[in-house]
Amino acid sequence: MIIYEFKIKGKDKQYRAIDDAIRTSQFIQNKCLRQWMDVKGLNKYDLNKYCAVLADLFPFANELNSMARQSAAERAWSAISRFYDNCKKKSKGKKGFPKFKKHCRSVEYKTTGWKLSTTRKAITFSDKKGIGRLKLKGTYDLNHYDIKQIKRVRLVRRADGYYAQFAISVDLHIETQPTGQVVGIDLGLKYFIADNKGNVELSPQFYRSSEKQLNRANRKKSKKYDLAKKKDKKPQSTNYHKARVRYARKHLRVSRQRKEYCKRLAYSVIQSNDLVAYEDLNVKGLVCNRHLAKSISDAGWSTFRQWLEYFGHKYGKVTVAVPPHNTSQNCSNCGTKVKKSLSTRTHVCPQCNYVEDRDVNASINILKRGLTTVGHTGSYAWGDLPSWAVGANLLFNGESGNQESPVL
């Protein structure tokens, strides 16, 4: 399954219709979640049937395509099933009880409710929301695929406009020549990655470099916010919403820079090696450190891992996530545990006098652990599926999936 994304061009009336469809999808999703809370023993198919009941009760819900209503119900069930899975696995901490959506940004259609033009450069939505015909702006060519291969069409609202995503069912496997190379990767803050061969890649710090501009835009937005209007439950001024959009666009630019950097780096690593071992970091737990939370979030480790596993699955390369415990402390030469703080950037072993950069030493340990895990087919560090498999599964349930740019 791949995702092709196009920017859509239309009139303001059509954009308002898309917003109305998104609000309706959010309403149905929340209603299905409430129904699951009130009635015990409901399953996925019961929620799909409940969509027809909502269409009879609410005229605005009946305006949305029937399969789009089912997609909203499947989104609710996706959160419910994830909660059940976490309870069965007895995951530590919170189990992720489903929450009501407050700021939904997309509506998803299945195989009906839309139709591509003959040139496949425009799409027409035929439900009663009044979206109509929208132009598709992008470099992808949908003529290479049969209409039956397009399983989902998603309309997404972002700070810089509206987009259409096409979920296309294709075989992702591409055969490549083996390189005969293996690599262990250590993720860090000073160096984004460091491998066992001594190669390092500096962390780009996209958020840090744009922080002054973001703070300035945030201050301008705050100055236009009227607290009295909020107390009187009145809408904010047009200038406030313009400042809010400018601020959101700056954040969107930073996130796109980070995503593109992680994607290109992961692609390069996968193309150069047959096996890639990396740390199975608990990023959600690491960001609880208030001293390093901003730097960890700016690094984009989770994004890099998702693209690494996706490209590994696509090109038939082995990706192994190993537990990160003591990879920085143990000596890669003799195995002696040498305790060191985060400020100590050089590994010096008192047992064998081995001296190496801290991150390079950790990457060698990661590679050794990865090579001992390869023999166990289908096993990962914490017993979880890789990101590409989770993405493929959630994609069918209405969640976002992996997306490639035309340059790759």
Q: According to the model, what pLDDT value does residue 188 have?
A: 86
Which class for 114: exposed (0-12), middle (13-18), buried (19 or more C-beta within 10 A)?
A: buried
Q: According to the model, what pLDDT value does residue 374 have?
A: 60
Whether the Cβ atoms of residue 249 and residue 279 lie closer than 8 Å to each other: no
Q: For residue range 327-359, what is the model confidence (pLDDT) as tens digits?
A: 888 887 787 787 878 878 888 887 887 787 888
Confidence at 143, pLDDT banded by 50, 70, 90: confident
44-57 and 66-89 helices, crossing angle to 10° = 140
Please state, in angstroms and rounded to a whole number, the distance separating the CA atoms of residues 179 and 317.
10
DSSP state of 385: P
Q: For residue range 215-234, what is the model confidence (pLDDT) as tens digits?
A: 999 999 999 998 998 888 89
Least reliable range by pLDDT among 190-194, 201-205, 236-240, 328-332: 328-332
Residue whose C-alpha is closest to residue 155's, from 262, 274, 352, 14: 14
| Residue 186 clears pLDDT 90, i.e. is over it | no
Q: According to the model, what pLDDT value does residue 247 have?
A: 94
pTM of the model as a whole: 0.82
Please state, in angstroms and rounded to a whole number, the distance separating the CA atoms of residues 393 and 78.
10
Average the pLDDT over 143-163 and give the result: 90
CA angle 188, 304, 196 (to 5 degrees): 50
| Residue 117 clears pLDDT 60, i.e. is over it | yes
Beta-bridge partner residues of 279: 322
Q: What's the token pair of residue 87?
A: 């309870």
